[in-house]
Chains A and B, each alone.
Chain A
Amino acid sequence: MISIEELNPIFRQVFDDNSIDITRTSTADDIDDWDSLTHMNLVMAVEQAFKIRFALGELQKLKNVGDMLDMINTKIRT
């Protein structure tokens, strides 16, 4: 089970901002630099960190932290 504390460092690293503290309800609107470009960086960083792979059709559903966390955990379990 991956927790939000394990995800936060990845966000800080991708967006190069140590003041980021994500919550389950954080979305792309809350983080200034989270746009279509950085979204892919984020996705690939998450994939590498947890050794999972998202399908193309799942990527647009990852635009808030809660959904992302749930999807990571579903993928790790299977």
Chain B
Amino acid sequence: MLFNSLEFIFIFLPISLLVYFSLLRRRLAIAAKSWLLFASLLFYSWWNIKYLPLILGSILFNYTIGGLLAEYGSGGKRPIPPKAIFITGIAANIALLCWFKYMDFFIGTTNVLLSTQLPFLKIVLPLGISFFTITQIAFLVDAYEGLVEERNLLSYTLFVTFFPHLLAGPILHHSEMMPQFERLRNSVLNWKNLYLGLTLFFLGLFKKVVIADTFSVWATAGFDTSQPLTLIPAWLASLSYTFQLYFVFSGFCDMAEGIGWMCFISLPVNFNSPYKATGIIDFWKRWHISLTNFVTTYLYTPILRVFDRITFTRSLVAIFLAMLISGFWHGAGWNFIIWGGMHGLGLVINHIWKKNKLPMPSLLGWLITFNFVNVSFVFFRSKSLEGALAVLKGMAGLNGVMLHRSLAKVQALKDMGISFGGWLDPIKGNDQTWIMAVCALLIVVFWKNSMEIVSNAKPSWGRLCILMLIAFWALLDMGKVSEFLYFQF
């Protein structure tokens, strides 16, 4: 069940909220929490009930290990060294993720390197496994380091499975979530929260079904076609994907945040107008912020701590490695590793630039950053390395240039070797394609983002009308068949 489905919006969400509110009203906080947990497990099982035991098993395992580590930290008996328990816990999580996400990648790589013919396992990736693995690894690390004081199986299970974030994040941290679940007994239904939460939800829905789904047609056509793309359709295909990814991903996070608000649970803000960034460092402070925090805390820092003394060069090495791993976490393929490596390199160059106090006008910085991000997403979107290179070849102009047939009369263009015809046919585009791309660019660069819109919004009739219009438009557009995309990372 996706947020952008009728059964979610008209059945699942209203019933979940109604029961939840009425339990809270009677001050039955534990029942309300249990109900949220039940709703979350139902949401998870809707996709495929086969994986319910997997997520529950993972939760019980990590909760037990975390409990052992927390107790040992406070001076309990130690039949087994805490370090051994800790390493076992981390290794088990990584092994689980490797099995479900990376087996075929390892098999494929082995086949290429050793010229073997091992068969692929074709394992289906369980929903949310990348998320629930890393959030629980963070829990284990914190438990090992003595930071886990609050332990409650119900709150813990709810923190891992809480349905708003299961599909696309944000990545939650136990220290932010569990205390909120503990405080629920003091919550009362608040109309302003409900209104703002709904606003955020429908803004997110609009971003997903009206904007992202429109771009996805052109992006999919451009990236999955076997015919070589000429200059302009290649750029429009890559830009379409860059916009699709932002609007779908931040849209899902807005919806998650909105549902959270309605439930009095505040989820971390995950996007802050990333395409306004004027540098790669800036970009990662704005894009998938909860991931950046995770990578900084649990990847970059431990790598850096391996060194006894920190130098600038060592910090850069640690950044690059952390981004490489983060890239691989996003997907099991060389294209994701290259994507991570590109961003690692981008961050390294940005830091060197900054350290040497080299000048960078913001407009130029923005132009470089946006184009860098756009090109990097070609690797992110392509199904393979060859696919990415094919699109990049088109973007470099190596497949020639074709313009709209109405320009065929201009002799000067003809002399430059430009051909004319259905210029956007290869990406199933039309004039709407470039108009939408220009509008999207203006929106992401000049407009407020949804959090900014909602944070200063005072409920008023005018705003309510706009909200209804947005909601209505989004609901109408949901009838269109859209690409089934759930986040593999």
- Measured in the bound complex, the distance between the Cα atoms of B306 and A44 in whole Å is 12
Within 8 Å by CB of B142, from A36, A41, A57, lies: A57
Within 8 Å by CB of A59, from B146, B297, B351, lies: B297
- Kindly identify, within residues 39 to 64 of chain A, every residue whose CB is under 8 Å from any CB belonging to chain B: 40-41, 44, 55-60
A59-B301 contact in complex given A36-B296, A40-B315, C-beta closer than 8 Å: yes
A55-B147 contact in complex given A37-B315, A44-B310, A60-B293, C-beta closer than 8 Å: yes
Q: Is the CB of B142 within 8 A of A55?
A: yes
B100 CB–A CB distance under 8 Å = no
A35 CB–B CB distance under 8 Å = yes
* B318 closest partner in A (C-beta): A40
Proximity string of chain B (131-146) to chain A, C-beta cutoff 8 Å, 1 when within and 0 when not:
0000000100110011
Q: Is the CB of B146 within 8 A of A35?
A: no
Q: Is the CB of B145 within 8 A of A55?
A: yes
Within 8 Å by CB of A57, from B175, B312, B315, lies: B175
* B300 closest partner in A (C-beta): A36
B269 CB–A CB distance under 8 Å = no
Select the residue from B304, B310, B319, B351 with max chain A CB neighbours within 10 A.
B310
Within 8 Å by CB of A37, from B141, B147, B351, lies: B351
- Kindly identify, within residues 273 to 322 of chain B, every residue whose CB is under 8 Å from any CB belonging to chain A: 281, 293, 296-298, 300-302, 304, 310, 312, 315, 319
| Nearest CB of chain B from residue A33's CB, rounded to whole Å | 9
A57-B296 contact in complex given A41-B310, A44-B310, C-beta closer than 8 Å: no
| Nearest CB of chain A from residue B6's CB, rounded to whole Å | 40
Proximity string of chain B (252-286) to chain A, C-beta cutoff 8 Å, 1 when within and 0 when not:
00000000000000000000000000000100000
Q: Is the CB of B145 within 8 A of A57?
A: yes
Give the residues in chain A near B354, CB-CB below 8 Å.
Answer: 35
Q: Is the CB of A56 within 8 A of B300?
A: no
| Nearest CB of chain A from residue B424's CB, rounded to whole Å | 42
Q: Is the CB of B310 within 8 A of A57?
A: no
Give the residues in chain B near A59, CB-CB below 8 Å.
Answer: 297, 301
* A36 closest partner in B (C-beta): B296
Q: Is the CB of A57 within 8 A of B304?
A: no
| Nearest CB of chain B from residue A49's CB, rounded to whole Å | 14
Give the residues in chain B near A44, CB-CB below 8 Å.
Answer: 310
- Measured in the bound complex, the distance between the Cα atoms of B141 and A60 in whole Å is 15
- Measured in the bound complex, the distance between the Cα atoms of B301 and A71 in whole Å is 19
Give the residues in chain A near B297, CB-CB below 8 Å.
Answer: 56-57, 59-60
The 25 sampled A-B contact pairs (Cβ below 8 Å) are: A35-B354, A36-B296, A37-B312, A37-B319, A37-B351, A40-B301, A40-B304, A40-B310, A40-B315, A41-B315, A55-B142, A55-B145, A55-B146, A56-B141, A56-B145, A57-B138, A57-B142, A57-B145, A57-B147, A57-B297, A58-B147, A59-B301, A60-B293, A60-B296, A60-B297
Q: Which residues of B contact A (CB under 8 A)?
A: 138, 141-142, 145-147, 175, 281, 293, 296-298, 300-302, 304, 310, 312, 315, 319, 351, 354
Known: A55-B145, A57-B141, A57-B297. 14 other contacts (CB 8 A): A35-B354, A36-B281, A37-B315, A37-B319, A41-B315, A44-B310, A56-B141, A56-B302, A57-B142, A57-B147, A57-B175, A59-B297, A59-B301, A60-B297
